[in-house]
Amino acid sequence: TAMPPLRIANRDARRLWLSAHGFGAAPTGPRDTAALIKALGFVQIDTIQVVSRAHHHILWSRMQSYREPDLEGLLGRGRQVFEHFTHDASVLPMEFLPMWQRQFRRMKEKVARSSWYGGALDADLLESVKRRIAEEGPLSTRDFETQIDGPKAMWQRPPHKKALDYLWYAGELATSHRDGFTKVYDLAERVFPPDLRAAQMPDAAQIDWLCDAALERIGFGTLGEIRKFWAATEGHEVAAWAERGAAGMVAVEVEGYDGSWSKAWACADIEDRLQSATVPNRLRILNPFDPAIRDRVRLKRLFGFDYTVEMFVPAVKRQWGYYV
């Protein structure tokens, strides 16, 4: 007979969740930004800056010896991380590149289908953008001069910017470095290490790795939450992975802040994690894109904290204001 699900009380679930996201120890110790990014899986990058930009804040809240130039050193000079799209623009460890090949294809197809890009993906324009970068070296959108047709609107981009983005999503261009926050593009073969770029990994193996790596980093979650971690798989692919790997997972029931219970999956060593997970009694200041809190639905279920970024709520329905 099947074992009954392991029940995780809300207090333990909160402790486990925070510990899994890098809050299980004081933010002191050695300054190893690359290791921290690998432990988290990725770090979302964003322009919003109050204390500091989101990516710097995420790293600093876990490692207070971190300094902002560290990340640019890993991206630009060190080539230890690369930029691409998870649920949003992010930096990932360069060693993950072989497991990211199908995500380049997925994003290329998604962007090509998008009506937002319209006629900007003209073959001659794409070729001319790549040729200029090949001949002139890394370029940013400031180095091109195509104009927006018609009236300007928020989020609208000129054709060359759409072409640069499409080639970047497709993995044909890569972020060479950033000038301030401006992305500078280069040919992927001049940014990505040849051995990692050439590595061939079947799609099924990439899916298994993505799901395994997601569950390892969150400790427990629904199949939907496992899928949303990287946002690089489809629901049916995660369901098939769960069927294949059920022996390596533990069925659990997790108590919410309101006393309700929900079914989830946990990593094989969940009982050891429950025994060892600690959270120091120390104040941490998190930004809205921190991986521990960015899923607002899960945040409310576990912590009872109703946190809506109201820029995405119609103005008449906002309770607090645009940024809250």
Could you give the 3-state DSSP secondary structure of residue 43?
Answer: strand
pLDDT at 154 (0 to 100) = 42
CA dist., res. 240 & res. 222, Å (int): 14
Q: For 160-188, what is the mean pLDDT?
A: 94
Spatial contact of 165 and 85, defined as CB atoms under 8 Å apart: no
CA distances from 81 to 29, 76, 97, 103, 254 (A): 22, 9, 9, 16, 34
Q: Phi, psi (5° rounding) for residue 85?
A: -110, 120
CA dist., res. 57 & res. 8, Å (int): 30
- Residue 50 per-residue DSSP state: S
pLDDT digits (tens, 9 = 90+) for 300-314: 999 999 888 888 899
pLDDT digits (tens, 9 = 90+) for 285-300: 998 899 999 999 999 9
Spatial contact of 280 and 246, defined as CB atoms under 8 Å apart: no
Q: For 126-150, what is the mean pLDDT?
A: 86
pLDDT digits (tens, 9 = 90+) for 86-122: 999 999 999 999 999 999 999 999 998 887 676 557 8
CA dist., res. 37 & res. 35, Å (int): 6
Q: Is the pLDDT of residue 323 over 90?
A: no
| Ramachandran quadrant class, 137 (left: phi over 0; alpha: psi -120 to 50; beta: rest) | left
Q: For 309-324, what is the mean pLDDT?
A: 87
Q: Is the pLDDT of residue 248 over 70?
A: yes
Could you give the 3-state DSSP secondary structure of residue 93?
Answer: strand
Q: Quote the mean pLDDT of the chain.
A: 91
Least confident of 23-37, 84-98, 238-252, 290-304: 238-252
Nearest to 87 by CA among 121, 50, 41: 41
Tell me the helices (H) and strands (E) count for the chain, helix number first: 14, 10
Q: What is the 3-class SS of 113-129, one letter each residue?
A: HCHHHHHHCCHHHHHHH
